[in-house]
A = this chain, B = another copy of it.
Amino acid sequence: MSNNNLIKGSLQTIILKLLEENEKMYGYEITQRVKELTAGEIKITEGALYPALHKLEAEGLLTTEIQQVDNRVRKYYSLTKDGQKEVTSKMSELQGFVENLQRILSPDLKPGFNI
């Protein structure tokens, strides 16, 4: 689905942040939301997403809850307390990185930046 080699390292942050905003999402929903938000420019592949979700769950940052919808099983993910802390941490890490990237790539301007 995606040929974007830049996502590396930010997928976890994306997942966590979306779950911070939505409280409860299932995998497929996440892929669709990201597609929507970026007008189809970033597509999270299932091969990347599901292993990432499982890893975050194994780390105790997410919990799951299975729901039956039209005879179809849906697995909802939501943040644990550790997960909530981690969002903040990951977000500021990413913000810091983008700021540094800016310092390297745009030597002229050094304004405040928020993400």
Contact = CB atoms under 8 A, between A and B. Distances in A.
Interface of A: 4-10, 13-14, 17-18, 21, 34, 37-38, 41-42, 91, 93-94, 96-98, 100-107, 109, 114-115
Given A4-B97, A8-B8, A100-B41, A115 B106 contact: yes
A17 B105 contact: yes
Which secondary structure characterizes the binding site on chain A? helix
Contacts of A17: 104-105
Contacts of A14: 101, 104-105
Given A5-B8, A13-B105, A38-B104, 4 more contacts: A14-B104, A37-B103, A41-B100, A106-B114
